[in-house]
Chains A and B, each alone.
Chain A
Amino acid sequence: MNEKKEKGGFFKRLKDGLSKTHKAVIKRVDEITCGKRVINDDLLDNLEEILITSDIGAVTVQRLMEKIRWKVNRKELKIPEKIHNALKDEIFSILSNHQQTLQADTLQKPFTILTVGVNGTGKTTTIAKMANIFISQGHSVLLAAADTFRAAATEQLEIWADRVGCKVIKHRQGADPSAVAFDALKSAQAKGIDVLIIDTAGRLHTKAPLMDEIKKVSRIIGRELDGAPHETLLVLDATTGQNAISQAKMFKQAINISGLALTKLDGTAKGGVIVGISETMQIPIRYIGVGEKIDDLREFNPKEFADALFEN
């Protein structure tokens, strides 16, 4: 009962969060399609504009529009109002292509998650929310404060850990992040912890030395534990525009990104970039963040996402 209620509460929040997106995209699609008799070039141009202003990205938009145009030419799409559904199907199929949720496989303890991303995308907050999810699933969780660069990053993680009820392994500021990760892994192994989540400093994907640093962290964990990190999660900010694709590409080049988390979907940012990334990167989207509270992190569900996006 209680759980159901909570779920409903969450779904409502997700919808609230996405309603901006929804209003922005769908209302406008409806505005331009409503009352039109035929689909002409003007209408399609307007549609393209709407998609682009949702951050979906010029390349993906071009692909989407090609499909729509193809359907129009083959007379499959004749009624302007139907464009709405056609678009929804297209976006859903892009999003669901590579979708897979993150399951902590605790056969080989600890299941190690390395969290990376550029500055200010919400890595630390996302880690706290993830820890909360794993703890509620009955796993034991340990956090590693490997962001030794930014001022007070460790303190931020500690406050969160306190709130969700888990321990943090830390070094002093300026320490080698690989050393922190190493210590945390050893500690997790000794204590038989199920899930280890490593927080790293925000780094711009264009800085070679910083990317080497993260490679080293990943290498060290891999050396100490076979198959680790089991998940390398790239945290992306939904307000980011097309640069998110470049971030995903460069991080994937440096270390093998196995999942994405998209944060800050509760703002006016339309999250359209998720479509572009799914399209170009073929990496599953694990989580979306829709608020600042501890339970505002949700497993990404393309159907739910597309529904909330397109529901009237």
Chain B
Amino acid sequence: MLEVLSNGFNKAKDRFAGRVELTEANIDDALKDIRLSLLEADVNFSVVKDFIHDVKEKALGVIVDTRVSHKSQKLKTTPGEHFINICHQELVTLMGPVDVDISFASKPPSTIMLIGLQGCGKTTTAGKIAGFLSKKNKTPLLVAADTYRPAAVEQLQVIGNSLSIPVFSEKEMSPPAICSKAIEHARSTGHDVVILDTAGRLAIDDSLMNELETIAANTRPDNIFLVCDAMIGQDAVKTAVEFDRRLDLSGFILTKLDGDARGGAALSIKKITGKPIKFLCTGESFDRIEEFRPDGLASRILGFGDVVGLMQDFEQVIDEKKAEKDAARMLKGQFTLLDFLEQIQSIKKMGPLQDIVEKIPFFSQMAGNVAVDERELVKIESLINSMTHKERVNPDVIKESRKKRIASGSGRTPREVSEVLKKFNTMRKMMKNMGKSGLLSKISGGLSNIPGLGGGADPGDIMGNNLPAASRKFPKPLSTSEKRKIKSKRKKAKKARKNSRKK
């Protein structure tokens, strides 16, 4: 997701290679790239205009100090990074402040009303929210208020069944009557949240919009969420504004973000209506719903990757100590096939691979537009499972005959074994380099912060939002003890080399 947006920003950043000052001339070229990339991402035209204007104003005339000290550490920065930092801050401001709360009535049941265009994913989202709430110890009731589309009621019933959440439906009744009756029903049966799934409609369809107003007037919902397809074009703003005008929305839910839609709508809607984005939906299974975080989205747009989101996924499947250990090992370049296997197994638990890859900082750039195939993991897993422990710890011992054995053991060809080993070696090299250049220290920094995250710490800290521009890239450099270790290692190696030469 969002990688085309990211590409544009990266191109813009590259334009600053070798520059020291942000001048009108070099800013203009970069801004042009960003403008085009935002437009291609379906960000509303006027929003793009304002964004470009604001960034330009902030960036113009800034002379970038390429050496910044932060917490008594000297750090290097480039004008490109500085410029991207300005863009990042603008994006965060544009999409913030965060408000992902669902309002609950003091006297249950509380009501959540879902509205939107046809085919934006209301019914699926209703199921997801119900699942999300029941995990938080609520007892939701789903209400099938879509009496127009054929089999819409059945769809919600199937969803309710699979989540074991009751569904309220009535035949031969108008949607407003169904909704009012459902709330009575919830009150008498002790459900504390009622989720109204309404029919899809156009914002210009007056009679259907009146129907929504009637439902809202009768049930006085505590939350009215507009469900919005992430793929929506320039029309997003008009639709959102019209729904907001008639129903005074409490927020938005963005769906189908697991595609390559760039989610430009998120920027536009927030900016024009001023109403918050509450949830992001990223897949067809019912647990693919997450609370909206602007800094995560902004970072993704800029190609930084969504570290916070990644950490939250990690948190759900990995115990934190192990995660920290893993990250530390990766940092030092001590990366074996065993780790690889473990990672594959935990990655598989985290959800669709493409989602995860996009969240890894800088990886989305490296991977480019290559689609990541889930089944590749199965292949790698089966190959590693066919290896001996010795081979897993030290893959370099694998030569032709071992390859043959591994291949026949896993039902693959020796060539596939070589391919996987080659991939593994590239990965190991890449990680080593990243560890050296400090890029990966960002991940480890994030990982060590997992407990804080759970405790509701500001995720911005992890993204380095509160640090000066220069430190974004290197928020957590190596600790002194780690540095000492590396130094002594190098000294030893040097001595060894000298000795061998003497001989």
Contacts and interface: CB of A to CB of B under 8 A. Distances in A.
A120 B233 contact: no
B260 interface: yes
A208 B121 contact: no
Judged by DSSP, the binding face of B is loop
Interface residues of A, number: 47
A122 to B, nearest CB: 6
B336 interface: no
B371 interface: yes
B235 A152 contact: no
Contacts, number: 147
Nearest to B39: A58
A120 B119 contact: yes
Given A151-B159, A159-B150, A268-B235, A239 B374 contact: no
B233 A52 contact: no
A120 B118 contact: yes
A121 B119 contact: yes
Contact of B258 (A20, A55, A206, A292): A206
B256 A20 contact: no
Interface stretch (B40-48, B185-193, B410-418, B436-444): B40-48
A53 B119 contact: no
A244 B44 CA distance: 16
Interface string B246-263: 000000000010111110
A155 interface: yes
B433 interface: no
Contact of B233 (A20, A204, A273): A273
Interface in A78-102: none
Nearest to A117: B119
Contacts of A57: 40
Interface in A227-272: 237, 239-244, 246, 264, 266-270
B259 A156 contact: no
Nearest to B45: A53
Contact of A159 (B151, B238, B258, B265): B151
A58 B260 contact: no
Interface in A125-170: 149-153, 155-156, 158-160
A56 to B, nearest CB: 9
B371 A206 contact: yes
Contacts of B151: 152-153, 155-156, 158-159
B233 A241 contact: yes
A156 B262 CA distance: 31
A118 B231 CA distance: 10
Contacts of A244: 231, 233
7 contacts: A54-B234, A152-B155, A207-B354, A243-B233, A243-B259, A243-B262, A268-B242
Closest 10 CB pairs of A and B: A241-B233, A120-B119, A241-B42, A151-B158, A159-B150, A152-B154, A156-B151, A152-B155, A155-B151, A204-B259
Interface of A: 20, 49, 52-55, 57-59, 118-122, 149-153, 155-156, 158-160, 173, 204-209, 237, 239-244, 246, 264, 266-270, 273, 292
